[in-house]
Amino acid sequence: MEERKDDNISAMGTVAIGEAGKTGDWRSLRPVIDRKKCIPTVKNKPACFLCWLYCPEGVVKAGIEVEIDLEYCKGCGICAEECPPRAISMIREDKSHE
């Protein structure tokens, strides 16, 4: 991590993404979306988005094509568990490919 400077007289943190690093590294399971089952993609309009609603990390982008920021997704599996049509599968991360 690059060193950050604080010009304040009292200790004051500044806002930064990845405060705990690239938390995608924590994952042992990766969420993979099956577009053929995902409701907004199928209906071609904003709908459902329960994965966006329930993601504790706020890394799901709600759109016609739902996207997950895998750089920071911690792999908790909540999105897959709560997805009504079960469009998300949790797939093992293959560490040997890193």
Partner 1 sequence: MPENLFKLNAKEYILPGTRACQGCGLSLGYRYALKALRENTIVTLPACCLCVLHGIYPSTPVMIPCLNNSFASTAASAAGIVAGLQALNKTDTTVMAVAGDGGTFDMGIQALSGAAERGTDFIYLCYDNEGYMNTGTQRSSATPMGAVTTTTPILTKQQHKKDFIKIMDAHDLPYLATVSPSYPIDLYEKFVKAKKIKGTRYIHMYVPCPPGWGFATKDTIKTGKLAVETGVVVLFEIENGKFRFTGRSKTLAERGNRLPVINYLEKQGRFRKMNIEQLNQQQAWVDGKWQEYIRRAEA
- Residues of this chain that interact with ligand SF4 (CB under 6 A) are 31, 33, 38-40, 48-51, 55, 57, 59-60, 66, 68, 73-79, 83, 85, 87-88
Closest CA to 67 of 38, 96, 45: 38
Q: Shortest distance, CB of residue 43 to partner 1, whole angstroms?
A: 11
- φ, ψ of residue 30 in degrees (nearest 5): -115, 130
Out of 51, 72, 83, 87, point to the residue binding partner 1 (CB under 8 A).
Answer: 72
Partner residues linked to 88 by β-bridges:
33
Closest CA to 63 of 46, 75, 87, 51: 46
Our finding on whether 9 is near partner 1 (CB under 8 A) is no
The site partner of 88 among ligand SF4, partner 1, none (C-beta below 5 to 8 Å per kind) is ligand SF4
Q: Between 65 and 71, name the residue whose CB sits nearer to partner 1.
A: 71
Helix (H) or strand (E) holding 81: helix 78-82
Distance in angstroms (rounded) separating the CA atoms of residues 72 and 31: 12
The site partner of 19 among partner 1, ligand SF4, none (C-beta below 5 to 8 Å per kind) is partner 1
